[in-house]
Amino acid sequence: MSEPRTETTQAHLRRAPRLPVFLVLGAVLGAIAALVLTAVGNLDPKVGFGATFGYLCLWCIPVGLVVGALVAIVIDQVSRRRAKLVTVERASVEGDDSDPADDEVR
């Protein structure tokens, strides 16, 4: 086995938001907003609560998705400004092509 070879480089380190979390949270908040709007609003007795809630969900959930995406974009921009420059050391070993799974203790 040969000695590990190391190389040093600079990299930007930042915490990036996870977009799916913001999208799901926005959709859930949109559904809650639709529920509140349905409960507070005047209902047509011919239509009913469920149909009105479903119709409002068709509008509120996409709006919640857009708002969640916009919040994620703003947080991403803020995290890019706060990124730190760090020194990263990368080590690589050449010569040993054996599979580490072959060294398992049985």
Task: Identify the pLDDT of residue 41.
Answer: 86
Placement of tokens 């959930």 in the chain: 61
Task: Identify the pLDDT of residue 96.
Answer: 58
Task: Identify the pLDDT of residue 4.
Answer: 74
Better-predicted residue by pLDDT, 80 or 26 = 26
Q: Indicate the pTM of the whole model.
A: 0.69
Task: Identify the pLDDT of residue 98.
Answer: 62
> Does residue 5 lie within any of the structural domains?
no
Range of the structural domain that residue 57 is part of: 27-92
Quickly state the pLDDT bin for 64 (edges 50, 70, 90): very high
Count: domains in the chain: 1
Q: Which pair of structure tokens corresponds to residue 16?
A: 């990036």
Quickly state the pLDDT bin for 101 (edges 50, 70, 90): low
> Does residue 7 lie within any of the structural domains?
no
DSSP for residue 40? H
Cα(63)–Cα(16) distance, rounded to whole angstroms? Answer: 23
Q: Any bridge partners for residue 11, and if so which? A: 86
Q: Are 89 and 8 in contact (CB under 8 A)?
A: yes
> Does residue 64 lie within any of the structural domains?
yes
